[in-house]
Amino acid sequence: MKIKKILVTQQQSEAEKSPFVELAEKNKIQVDFKPFVRVEGISAKEFRLSKIDLSTYTAVIFTSKTAVDHLFRICEEVRHCMPETMKYFCLTEAIAYYLQKYVVYRKRKIFYGKSCITDLKDSLLKNKNEKFLLPLSDTHKEDIPEALRAMGLNFTKAILYRTVSTNLKECCPDVTAYDMMVFYSPACVKSLLENFPRFKQNHIKIASFGQSTAKAINEAGLRLDIEAPTPQAPSMTMAIELFLKEQAKSNGNGKPKKK
C-alpha cells in the first residue's frame, strides 16, 4: 500500500523548513503532527515531599530546556533565589543560551557540550567538589545518572515534571486513517495503547527513533517497519525516505510487463 498520510506523534518543529516538511513536499504526502504526550510540572507541595533543599546545591546539570523551565518554576514557587555563584552544566549550547530567560548570562559560570554528557566530562571533573542537582522527568533514561556515578560526582536527581498521555480521542480520534505512525519515545507508544486499547496495526507502518522506543514497540506486540538511527539513515526522515524508495522500487518491479 502506498504511503499517503503520515502521523508524527510529537509537536511540530518550529523550524520553517523542517525535514518532515521537505519529505512531504518531495513525496507528495500528507504529514500531520499530534503530540501523544504532554509535560506536566509537579507541584511545590510534591517537591517539598522529596526533601530536596535547593540551598545546599552549588551546581546544576541541565539535560533539556524543559528541565530549565521547571527548575526555575519550582524555585519561584518555593521562593528560592538561585545564587550568582551557582554553576550550570548544559548538555548543549542551545540549552545554555536558553538560560538567558532566567539568569544574566555573562555573570554566570556556564558550561556546555555538543550533545551528550561525555562532552562535559572534563568540565564536570574540574568541578568534582561541587554538589550537583540533576532536574529530570519521571520517565528519564538512566544513562546520564550512570555516567555521573562513574565520574564519582556527588549529585541528586530531582523529579520536577512528568510525562502524561494526551487525550487522543479529542485531538486524533482516528489513528487508523494514517498509513504510517512515527514514534520518538516509549511514552508515546504507551499513550497510543492507553487511548486505544483495542488498536490493531493492520496496514499501518510503524517507524521508531531510538533503541528504547523500538523496544517499547516490540514489547507492545506491534510490528516495527522502520527503525532509526542507522548508519544508512541517521535521522528519522532519512529512514522514511529510504523506506519510500524501496517501496516504490518494489511496487514498480511487481507490475507485470506489457506485451
53 and 132 housed in the same domain: yes
How many folded domains does the chain comprise?
2
> Is the per-residue pLDDT at 192 higher than 90?
yes
Pure H helices in 143-199: 143-150, 168-171, 186-195
Query: Radius of gyration (Cα) for the chain, nearest Å?
Result: 22
16 and 94 housed in the same domain: no
Distances (CA, A) of 114 to 86, 92, 95, 234: 21, 5, 10, 17
Cβ-contact 9, 38 below 8 angstroms: no
24 and 83 housed in the same domain: no
| 62 vs 251, residue with greater confidence | 62
Find the farthest-apart pair of alpha carbons in the chain and give their distance in angstroms, rounded: 82
Q: Could you report the per-residue pLDDT of 95-153, keeping only the tens digit for each?
A: 999 999 999 877 679 999 998 899 999 999 999 999 999 999 998 889 999 999 999 99
CATH of the domain at 27: 3.40.50.10090
Task: Kindly report the backbone phi and psi dihedral angles of residue 9, in degrees, each rounded to the nearest multiple of 5, phi listed first.
Answer: -85, 35
The amino acid sitting at 96 is A
Which residues form the domain of 185?
5-36+171-251
pLDDT at site 122: 96
| pTM of the full structure | 0.76
Of the candidates 241, 243, 239, 185, which has an alpha carbon nearest to the alpha carbon of residue 217?
A: 185
Rounded Cα distance between 163 and 39, Å, is 5
The amino acid sitting at 217 is I
- 179 assigned to some structural domain: yes
> Pick from 163, 191, 215: which residue ends a domain?
163
With bands split at pLDDT 50, 70 and 90, how would you rate the model's confidence at 252? Answer: low
Length of the chain: 259
